[in-house]
Structure formats: structure tokens, C-alpha cells
Copies of this chain bind each other. A is one copy, B any other.
Amino acid sequence: MHNAAYDRLKARFARIAALGEAAAMLHWDASTMMPPGGGESRGEQLAALAGLAHELLIAPVVEEDLEIARAEGEWEEANLALMEHAHARGTALPTDLVEATARANSACEKLWREAKARADFALVRPALTEVVRLQRETAQALAAALSMGPYDALMDGYQRGITAADVEPVFAAYEAFLAEALPRAEAIQAAKPAPVPLPGPFPTELQRALCRRLSERVGLDYEHARLDESLHPFCGGTPADVRLTTFYDEKDASKALLGVLHETGHALYERGLPEAFARQPVGDAAGMAVHESQSLIVEMQACRSDAFLGFLGRELRSVFGGPAAPYAAENLAGLWRHVERGFIRVDADEITYPAHVILRFRLERAMIAGDLEVADLPGAWNEALHRMLGITPPDDARGCLQDIHWHDGAFGYFPSYTLGAMAAAQLMKAARAAEPGLDAALAEGDMAPLLAWLRRNVHGKGSLLGFQDLLRAATGKPLDPQDFIDHLRARYLA
């Protein structure tokens, strides 16, 4: 069956993964618990863990073992292929490039904070130019090692199994839909009465208990999870010990509630990964786009559905009290499915969000290809936003300076958001077809039928399949924007 070389590799990758788990816990601690004075030594700890994990990955003995390793069976073969892929990525980049990149990213990110605060792109332009130069070099080196296009090689670092050539027509189709649908959605919305805000107050203690109760209701087991607070909410930790965070605003209970439901989607994915391959590459989550599909299928597809909003309204009223009207499903839909053209990606609604991502995908792809220079970025940004949403940012802080990603060296990540949203719609359609009682259950606040389907078709698959293959296996086709478009039509244009 397997040979000794494969067993050695499994032991080595289990160790690498354990170091990654330790680092995940230390990151969580740094965001939630650590006193301010602990930052510097935390940096030393994380650097030691990352350095050792990298050395374990790129050691010459790994290459020797990969050459002679034999594994049998679908899962073990995939595991071995993923080890080879990780080793190829790890060894593709010369040390001086890795170090130059780390320095350039760190320097640029610092300048970006100031540039954004002052809305002054010129301040960060030279540093960002250097970041892009190094990202091009990185992309070239990875492309050569992995036999794929340079931009694809960057995307591959965040989500395996999909290329820019797959993404471009999908995004083009969405752009065409948006041009027609957005004005209609706005007109329909304008014709409806304005929603009334939920009556407060929303004491933090009550919000915390509600968030915990609803995330449990949705399927999270707190024997293996915690919910804490941090400035920027996230889902961290490890599959056996998931750490969710949120931020409570006593003026608005919606943010924490919807945020926790979103993070619960991420958490349920981690919890559902195949235990038999814990701490092996094939047992990991399949990538950032698949991860985002799991947060969005819970938050956007399930929890903001008409069926679930009825349940959620009753739950909210039982905690915060007051008249029934604001808690009605239609009113919550008015509050939580409000469409508005805006400059800021993270504030965008379900319809306009992809426009922000499509814009970034095309610009970063052009920058990596050498077809767009950093000096031309603000103009290209504003032009693209105006073409898609008909609005122009009043300054670069609300334009090309708004996101940290590029200024921290993250190129190839942005598509994940919209790939995730689209995959969520496609998976939801397939789940509804397979589980006819799914919506009736949602109306009772019962996520079990959806969750069971996701565990079989997504969570339990780990990294066995890349993005497109996972969708093919689960829904019978690769990524198809039509399911997302149909979902938006039903929700916003009916």
C-alpha cells in the first residue's frame, strides 16, 4: 500500500500542520487576549514557528521522499500530490526574494496606513511600486515551478483549482447582469416603504448571549469553539478548537449578529473537515474561495432568506422586546438586504459587492502582467468603478487606498470573495434540490438539512478536490454565475 517514504512525509506534514495550529492559536490570542506589551515577543514566537515550518517543508529530504513515495487510494494519492504541490511552492522562491518581499510588504503597509488617513496616494506609490515589482517576480518564479500562468500561480496560493481564464467570463457575465439589474433593483426598493430600525437598546451582554445561542442553533458545538471579541472579527483557531470573534455595537445589534452567523459558516466548515486526515494537506479546507462560500451560504443564502428571517425576527424580539413590526421578516429584509451603490467594498450589498471585486481582479491581473503601472492605478480604478456603478470616489482613500490587501503584498486573493458568493448560490441550489425540506426547516430556525448536505458535499471533502472539481462533484457543473444571478433576481427583482 503506502511505503515508508510516504509515512515519513505524513509525519513531517503533521508536524508542519501542528506548528501552523500553534501559530493560529497565538494569532487568536494576539487579537483577543494579549496585553499590548506582548506584541514584540509574540512576533518572535510567530517568526520561529513560521521559520521552522518552512524549513521542514523545503528540506532536501522531502524531495528525496517525494520521488520514491507511493500512496494508494483516492485520498492518500491526493494527499501526496498536495505535499508535492506545497513543496514546489515552498522551494520555488529564492530566499533573497522572500526576504525582500517581506521587507517591502511591511514597509508599504506602514506607509499605506498614513496614505489612507491622508487620502494621499503619492505617499505610498513608490513603496507599492516595489511591492508590485516583487509580486511580478514571485509570480514568474511560481509560474515556472508550477507550470501555470503567473497570475494563476498567485491565485493558486489562496484557492487551488481555478484559473483567471475560468474567472474572466464568469465575471463578464455578472457585469452584464449588473448593468441591467442594478437600476431595476433600486427602483423596486424605492417603491417600497422604508424599513423601520430595530428598537434598542442593545446591551452587549444580551447581544453576546443571543449570538452564542443562534450560532449554536445553526450548528456550532461549543465543546469545540469559543466566541470572543476583537476589533476585526474573524474565525481562527483549529478544526477541533474554533475561535470566533465579533465586535458588539450597543447602537446596532445587526452587525454582531450577522457577523457571527458569517463566522459560524467558516467555523462549521472547519469543524466538518475530515478527522481521519487531520493535520494532513488533504484534510485542510480547500481554499479561501471555498471558505468564503461556506460563510456566505450560512449568512447570505440561509440566514438572510425570507424563511429564516421570520425565525430570526422572533428570536430578536424575545431578547430586545418592543413592538412586533420592526421584527417582521419583510422589515428585516428591508434593513439587511438594502441595495446601494457605494465606494467601499466592505460596506457593499450583495448585488454591488461583485463589482468591487471584478474591478480589483482586473486591475491586479493587469499589474502582475505588466499592463498597468502603479502610477496609473488611481485613474484606472476610478474609471472602472464609474463604468460599473456610475459613481466616482471623491478621493483615493475611498478609492484605491481603501483595502490593505495590495499594500501588504496580497495579489490574487480578491477574486475569492465573489467566487465564494457565487459558489454559495450554486451549492444552495443543489442542496435545495437534494433536500426538499430545507426551506421549511429554515423557517423553524433549523439548519440541520443544509448542514448535513454541506458536510457530505463540501466540509467532509477537505482538500480532496480543487475549486472547480468540488463544484462539479457537488452540483454537477463547474462555477456557473447563473445560479447566483437567479438567486439575486429572486431576492431583489421579484
| Residues in A lying within 8 Å of B, measured CB to CB | 14-15, 18-19, 21-22, 25-26, 29, 33-38, 40-42, 44-45, 47-49, 51-52, 221-226, 237-241, 278-279
Q: Judging by beta carbons under 8 Å apart, are B18 and A48 in contact?
A: yes
Is the Cβ of A22 less than 8 Å from the Cβ of B26? yes
By the criterion CB–CB under 8 Å, are A35 and B238 in contact?
A: no
Q: Are B35 and A223 in contact (CB under 8 A)?
A: yes
Which 10 residue pairs are nearest across A and B when measured between Cβ atoms? A38-B241, A18-B48, A37-B224, A41-B240, A37-B223, A22-B45, A18-B45, A15-B48, A18-B44, A21-B45
Give the copy number: 2
Majority secondary structure of chain A interface residues (helix, strand, loop or mixed): helix
Q: Whole-angstrom distance between the alpha carbons of A35 and B239 in the complex? A: 12
**A223-B21 in contact (CB<8A):** no
A35-B278 in contact (CB<8A): no
Nearest chain B CB to A159 CB, angstrom units: 25
When distances are taken between beta carbons in the complex, the residues of chain B under 8 Å from A47 are 18
Q: List 8 A–B pairs whose Cβ atoms lie within 8 Å, in order of A's numbering.
A: A18-B48, A21-B41, A21-B45, A34-B241, A35-B222, A41-B238, A41-B240, A42-B241
Contacts of A51 in B (CB 8 A): 15
Closest to A52 in B: B52
By the criterion CB–CB under 8 Å, are A48 and B19 in contact?
Answer: yes
Q: How far is the CB of A455 from chain B (nearest CB, A)?
A: 17
Contact B226 A35 (CB under 8 A): yes
Whether A240 and B38, one on each chain, are in contact in the complex, defined by CB atoms closer than 8 angstroms, is yes
A221 to B35, CA, bound (A): 10
| Contact status A225-B49, CB under 8 Å | no
Which chain B residues lie closer than 8 Å to A35 at the CB level? Answer: 222-226, 241
**Closest Cβ–Cβ distance, residue A39 to chain B (whole Å):** 8
Q: Which residue of B lies closest to A221 (CB)?
A: B37
**Inter-chain contacts of A240 with B (CB < 8 A):** 37-38, 40-41
Whose C-beta in chain B lies nearest to the C-beta of A240? B41
A40 partner residues in chain B, CB cutoff 8 A: 240
Please, which residues of chain B bring their CB within 8 A of the CB of A226?
33, 35
Q: For residue A236, give the distance in angstroms from its CB to the closest CB of chain B.
A: 12
User: What residues of B have a CB within 8 angstroms of the CB of A41 in the complex?
Assistant: 21, 238-241, 278-279
What chain B residues lie within 8 Å of A44 (beta carbons)?
A: 14, 18, 21, 279
Q: Are A241 and B37 interface neighbours, CB within 8 A?
A: yes
CA distance A48 to B37 in the complex (A): 27
Looking at the assembled complex, report how far the CB atom of A355 sits from the nearest CB atom of chain B, in whole angstroms.
Answer: 40
Chain B residue with Cβ nearest A15 = B48
Shortest CB distance A54–B (Å): 13
